[in-house]
Amino acid sequence: MNLDKSIVVCPGSYDPVTNGHLDVIRRAAQLYDEVVVAVVNRSVRKENTLFGIEERLGFIERATAQLPGVRVAPFKTLVVEFAREVGAKAIVKGLRAISDFEYELEMHQLNSREDPEIESVYLMASSQYSFLSSSGVKELATFGGRIEDLVPEDVAARLQEELRR
């Protein structure tokens, strides 16, 4: 591990990854040497994912392949534990609305209790993605709405295929 290198973790379930997620990852990659996109393999908040861990990892790997310093990894521990394992100094998250802030403030306080050395950094959602969520994309796709401009192309195709079942 290079101690001079700034490493951050962008955690989430990414079920599926959206263009809003990718916007935050791209912007974090401009600010830090290495961004580890941490895909949770087990979540207390979300019982069942539509896509398995390998498929979610693959979606993100393909979507970020051109971004230097970005790598994707699964995790199933506390995010601060994972951040310590990879040598990250911060957890980077996107914020869309007040509801995101309230949840992330609580998570920040809990994470700080576990490891006060790991910072929480928040990037405001770009205006075109301020409404975008994975659950919203899944709901649109379920009822035949257009999602092609909300997620990567392979995600849109796979999501529509999965929801037709």
| Span 73-107, pLDDT tens digits | 999 999 999 999 999 999 999 999 888 999 999 99
The per-residue pLDDT for 43 is 56
DSSP 126: P
| Domain boundaries along the sequence of the chain | 7-164
Higher pLDDT, 108 or 3: 108
Give 1's pLDDT tier (boundaries 50, 70, 90).
Answer: very low
Determine if the peptide bond prior to 74 is cis (ω within 30°): no
The Cα 155–Cα 50 span in angstroms is: 12
pLDDT at residue 3 greater than cutoff 60: no
Section 46-72 average pLDDT: 94
List the beta strands (DSSP E) in the chain.
7-12, 34-40, 70-75, 90-95, 119-124
The per-residue pLDDT for 5 is 80
| Span 111-163, pLDDT tens digits | 999 999 999 999 999 999 999 999 999 999 999 899 999 999 999 999 988 88
The Cα 131–Cα 129 span in angstroms is: 5
- The superfamily (CATH) of domain 7-164 is HUPs (3.40.50.620)
Give 44's pLDDT tier (boundaries 50, 70, 90).
Answer: low
The Cα 36–Cα 70 span in angstroms is: 6
pTM for the full model?
0.92
DSSP string, 72-117: EEEE-S-HHHHHHHHT-SEEEEEE-SHHHHHHHHHHHHHHHHH-TT
The Cα 64–Cα 117 span in angstroms is: 28
Are the CB atoms for 46 and 133 separated by under 8 Å? no
The Cα 100–Cα 85 span in angstroms is: 26
The Cα 74–Cα 67 span in angstroms is: 18
